[in-house]
Amino acid sequence: MDWSGKTALVRVDFNVPMLNGQVADDTRIRAALPTLRYLREHGAKVVLLSHLGRPDGKPADKFSLRPVADRAAELLGAPCTFATDCVGPAAEDAVSATGAGEVVLLENVRFHAEEEANDSGFAGQLAGLGDVFVNDAFGTAHRAHASTAGLAEFMPAVAGLLMAKEIVVIGTALEDPKRPFVAIVGGAKVSSKLAVLENLIARVDRLLIGGGMANTFLKAQGREVGQSLLEPDLVEAATNLLALGNKIVLPTDVVVTTDLKGSAPPRTCSADQVGPEEMIVDIGPASVGVFRIEIGHAGTVLWNGPMGVFEDPRFAAGTLAVAHAMADSSATTIVGGGESVQAVEQAGLADRLTHVSTGGGASLEFIEGKVLPGVAALKGDCS
Ligand code: 3PG
Ligand code: MG
């Protein structure tokens, strides 16, 4: 696009963790910087739209984006002014006062119920503030809201650089991966990731399963899992997935405890020696060895979900080992959102991976193979 003299209405996902009125984690703000810098350098006036939290259609101080504007300015090394509303006179005045190459962040779009309702009158009001809609909010692309999808009805709509990177990197892994393609899926429940597993199994060469969800698969193989988290209703689904060839790799050994909340050292045992009082809380060292080999041989690795209760250092070894194996691998390595991102950040390994997604729910829905409304809205004639 030719940006000179244009106002870019940029939807970002600045829905960042806050603590005591301050930004507690600025990863999502940093991830948007390439788009903001690009637009500034090309002479656009940059008007930022975002939500923060779930204020339910009403203004609320604790969901104000004002502290986020301050952090954005620090990271940008340039002013980021703030408007107390995203529509109406406050927004219009702030946009008028912003010059070419300057940046203004408008207040939380979810302070208006019309945002989540994808109200077209509201989208039209937002659209009146700019010339081109730039959607860089991959993290919110699974929502069909006024500022994520509705705006595209009113103006040319293009992907920002972060959005494009997310779609290209994760999309290529799903559609045309460098093989072997290894997916690692963890987290507590099969139920929340069944669609992910079903979509991945058709595409990957290996599917490594850890975390609480592995218990349901172990059960499907006839093993006893003691007091471990188990979803009896999903044992049949797990059995069906296991029957689809030999792609699934389960932990062969596990870390168990009878003392989840305490500090007793855990025990490591074979996956078929879990006692009736014990609970599986991590994958064991032999499983780590197998996972490491699979990751080492891969052309593409896609990871979502921790291997155990990694918030507790006693049960974090498996998750951290996967993070390290990915960092050491020469494969295209992708961490698809949520808690596995936290693990990678904690271990200081994010820079050594090809891509760490800014999407939680959005990454999951993308990996499920769903159409993301915020992406679908961009398809079409932008001329
Ligand atoms: C997220 O962090 O999940 C996105 O910013 C979307 O927020 P939401 O789940 O409240 O729609
Ligand atoms: Mg969410």
Q: Is 361 a catalytic residue?
A: yes
The partner residues of 19 in beta bridges, in order of sequence, read 22
The pLDDT score that the predictor gives to residue 382 is: 44
Protein residue whose Cα sits closest to atom 7 of ligand 1: 140
Q: Closest ligand to 51 CA? A: 1
Please indicate whether residue 139, judged by its CB atom, sits closer than 6 Å to ligand 1.
yes
Please indicate whether residue 143, judged by its CB atom, sits closer than 6 Å to ligand 1.
yes
Q: Is 189 a catalytic residue?
A: yes
Calpha distance 1→329 (Å, rounded): 37
Q: 3-state class of 192 per DSSP?
A: helix
- Whether 318 and 298 have beta carbons less than 8 Å apart is answered as no
Residue 53 CA: which ligand 1 atom is closest?
A: 10
Cα torsion through 139, 141, 147, 151, rounded to 10: 150
Nearest to 42 by CA among 4, 74, 90, 79: 4
DSSP state of 12: -
Backbone angles phi, psi at 82, to 5 degrees: -135, 140
Q: Is 28 a catalytic residue?
A: yes
- Whole-number Å distance, alpha carbon 22 to ligand 1 midpoint, is 18
The pLDDT score that the predictor gives to residue 379 is: 72
The pLDDT score that the predictor gives to residue 380 is: 55
Q: Is 338 a catalytic residue?
A: yes
Nearest to 162 by CA among 42, 270, 39, 272: 39
Backbone angles phi, psi at 8, to 5 degrees: -90, 125
SS (H, E, C) 235-248: HHHHHHHHCCCCCE
Q: Closest ligand to 12 CA? A: 1
Render pLDDT for 328-376 as a digit per residue (tens, 0 to 9): 999 999 999 788 999 999 999 999 999 999 999 999 999 999 999 999 9
The pLDDT score that the predictor gives to residue 337 is: 76
Please indicate whether residue 193, judged by its CB atom, sits closer than 6 Å to ligand 1.
no
Helices (H), 176-212: 194-201
Q: Which helix (H) or strand (E) holds 300?
A: strand 300-304
Q: Which amino acid is at 109?
A: V
Task: Say which of 30, 37, 66, 189 is annotated catalytic.
Answer: 189
The partner residues of 7 in beta bridges, in order of sequence, read 45
Please indicate whether residue 373, judged by its CB atom, sits closer than 6 Å to ligand 1.
no
Question: Which pTM value belongs to this model?
Answer: 0.95
Terminal C-alpha separation, the chain: 9
Calpha distance 356→344 (Å, rounded): 9
Please indicate whether residue 56, judged by its CB atom, sits closer than 6 Å to ligand 1.
no
Q: What is the pLDDT along the chain (383 residues), one digit of tens a residue?
A: 899 999 999 999 999 999 999 999 999 999 999 999 999 999 999 999 999 999 999 999 999 999 999 999 999 999 999 999 999 999 999 999 999 999 999 999 999 999 999 999 999 999 999 999 999 999 999 999 999 999 999 999 999 999 999 999 999 999 999 999 999 999 999 999 999 999 999 999 999 999 999 999 999 999 999 999 999 999 999 999 999 989 999 999 999 999 999 999 999 999 999 999 999 999 999 999 999 999 999 999 999 999 999 999 999 999 999 999 999 999 999 999 788 999 999 999 999 999 999 999 999 999 999 999 999 999 754 44
Q: 3-state class of 291 per DSSP?
A: helix
CB atoms within 10 A of CB 60: 14
Calpha distance 195→173 (Å, rounded): 17
Q: Closest ligand to 15 CA? A: 1
Please indicate whether residue 53, judged by its CB atom, sits closer than 6 Å to ligand 1.
no
Calpha distance 72→210 (Å, rounded): 37
Strands 332-335 and 300-304, by their bridges, are parallel
Under 8 Å CB-to-CB from 165, ≥6 apart: which residues? 355
CA distances from 213 to 138, 167, 210, 270 (A): 26, 27, 7, 17
- Say which residue the tokens 């989840």 belong to: 260
CB atoms within 10 A of CB 54: 11
Calpha distance 47→26 (Å, rounded): 19
The pLDDT score that the predictor gives to residue 338 is: 81
- Whether 166 and 172 have beta carbons less than 8 Å apart is answered as no
